[in-house]
Amino acid sequence: MSIEEEIKKRRTFGIISHPDAGKTTLTEKLLLFGGAINEAGAVKSNKIKKTAASDFMEIERQRGISVSTSVLAFNFKDKKINILDTPGHKDFAEDTYRTLTAVDSVIVVIDVAKGVEEQTEKLVEVCRMRQIPIIVFINKLDREGKDAFDLLDEVEKKLGLTITPLSFPIGMGLNFKGIYNIWKKNIKIYQNDQKQIIGNKVTFNSLNDPELESIIGKKDIQNLKEELELIEGVYSSFDKNLYLDGDLHPIFFGSALNNYGVEDLLECFIEIAPCPLPKQSEKRIVEPKEEKFTGFIFKIHANMDPNHRNRLAFVKIVSGKFKRNTSYFHVRNNKNLKFSAPNTFFAEKKEIIEVSYPGDIVGLHDSGNFKIGDTLTSGENLNFTGIPSFSPEHFRYINNTNPMKAKQLEKGINQLMDEGIAQLFILNLNGRKIIGTVGALQFDVIQYRLLHEYGAQCEYESINIYKACWIDGDKESSSYDDFKRKKQKFLASDKKGNLVYLSDSEFTLKMAQQNYSDLRFYFTSEF
């Protein structure tokens, strides 16, 4: 099969939402309907012992939230599907933003009762800025919630999307009967109370079918006909080109937990969603069908298999073929690397793969060579752009509570910082270590993972820091020396050895910028 045909088969997308909108449950049901699993797991349940496939970390299983992006690949109807299930919680937004650089489209999940929430707005804004094609899935129709048309208005106004409904609910909440598929013009009724497997389904291709009326009721069918007429009169019909350009956004309704609407979403998605797209580098736009390989690291994860203490770098393939046991050029380190065991993913489950194509996500065993944002090529010296870096907002001292495990703690901190979940600063004055994070919940995750993955115990201590600023300027100048002398109490080094000013207030930061105007103050480490 040619590389063009392989590219056409691939669909790489992310699932994003505010926490608890049902994102991971939807991921499970996409896997179920796609035939990748036989039984769906649960994010939170006392009765169901099987957990979600995408929540593979122990802390995710305990808390019932996703704290790290997981990658799941499977085949469905001759298409290769790559799902990136992202964290919804704002404290892990940095991981989600980076993941959005590796997807070609997204599905946004919205809770029928809560509507459009804050984190959803932020994530969709990023997608719109990058013109990523968006499909919206309004979830939990089996619960009491907002009116369907009110939700459509909310999506238009709050998210600024131009929408076109491709499915519509039959009743809501206690009166929820099913979903009408506008895209295929049919209704599927699932006849099974077990939510973790696909039940028998009966498909009706006409709203005038007498058997359908006996199941749903004459009144609900009449209401649905009137609502469909209203949709046809108010909303634009679907145009695939407008969707691919990011100018039109299909809406699907459903109940992922109860299996309604998920198959409709999946079947439409594989037809309309984009194949792997070109990506901008510093020098030029890289096209997927180019013969030479290019790819970039968007995520690093330590200890995916705790028994082997391995560290994996996730590579999104942008162009060409990635082949096992072939040398590729690591642009930042200016050296060639060969990979004997590249992995394809199903959450924490991996298998070695011989060849991968544009759109695929490949896991490379990493002994410390990679950092997030690194580029691999067949030899060309180029770097991909647009991988975000965030300045920390929360800071704490990290203290070792078990001196016998000092080496384990140091190794754990270094590896977790390389994942990009936080940043490490070492005070120049006394060598104390400070962790800086975007969200406060990340401190709990770091502490948990240090204990359970490295056997290292730590505790935190409060510190008053307003902002971390990276300092650059003429190191031979008297101004640079004066700054280092007067601010020595607030100076630290990051993992790369760069000078960082840990300002204790907005006022002192502004004064420092005024008094040392010849120095440059950066609020990101990528300068």
Q: Mind listing the pLDDT tens digit of every residue in the chain (527 residues)?
A: 789 999 999 999 999 888 788 888 888 888 888 877 665 554 433 333 444 544 444 544 444 444 446 788 888 888 999 988 776 445 455 667 777 888 999 999 999 999 998 888 888 888 888 889 999 999 999 889 999 999 999 999 999 999 999 999 988 888 888 889 999 999 888 665 656 666 567 788 888 888 888 888 889 899 999 999 999 999 989 999 999 999 999 999 999 888 889 999 999 999 999 999 999 898 899 999 999 999 999 888 776 555 545 678 889 999 999 999 999 999 998 999 999 988 887 644 678 889 999 999 998 988 778 888 899 999 999 998 776 666 788 899 999 999 899 999 998 898 888 777 788 999 999 999 999 987 788 898 889 888 988 899 999 999 999 999 999 888 888 999 999 999 999 999 988 888 999 999 999 999 999 999 999 998 876 54
pLDDT (0 to 100) of residue 42: 44
pLDDT the model gives residue 248: 95
Whole-Å CA distances, 128 to 131, 133, 161, 281, 472 = 5, 8, 9, 20, 33
**Rounded Cα gap, residues 170 and 178, in angstroms:** 5
Yes or no: is domain 394-522 CATH 3.30.70.3280? yes
Distance of CA 504 to the CA centre of its chain: 33
Fold that domain 3-74+87-272 belongs to in CATH: Rossmann fold (3.40.50)
Q: Are strands 349-352 and 343-346 parallel, antiparallel or unpaired?
A: antiparallel
**CATH 3.30.70.3280: which residues of the chain?**
394-522
Q: What residues have CB less than 8 Å from 111, skipping those under 6 apart?
A: 17, 18, 20, 21, 22, 117, 139, 140, 145
Please tell me the predicted confidence (pLDDT) of residue 78: 87
Q: pTM of the entire structure?
A: 0.78
Q: What is the pLDDT of residue 193?
A: 61
The answer to whether 106 touches 12, Cβ cutoff 8 Å, is no
Report the chain's terminal Cα–Cα distance, integer Å: 43
- Torsion-angle region of 194 (φ positive above 0: left; ψ -120 to 50: alpha; else: beta): beta
**Which residues of the chain form CATH 3.40.50.300?**
3-74+87-272, 279-377
What architecture (CATH level 2) is domain 279-377? 3-Layer(aba) Sandwich (3.40)
pLDDT of residue 199: 59
What local confidence, expressed as pLDDT, does residue 188 receive? 81
CA 134 to chain centre: 14
Of 477, 500, 361, the residue nearest 426 (C-alpha)? 500
Residue 53 confidence (pLDDT): 47
Find tokens 């840990």 and name the residue: 502
* Cβ atoms of residues 6 and 356 within 8 Å: no
- Identify the pLDDT of residue 48: 37
pLDDT of residue 38: 60
pLDDT at residue 11, as a whole number: 94
Kindly list the strands in the beta sheet with 458-462, ordered across the sheet, starting from the edge strand earlier in the chain: 458-462, 394-400, 433-437, 423-427, 491-493, 499-503, 467-472, 520-522
The answer to whether 111 and 145 are in contact (CB under 8 A) is yes
d(CA 353, CA 357): 11
Helix (H, G, I), strand (E, B) or coil at 128: helix
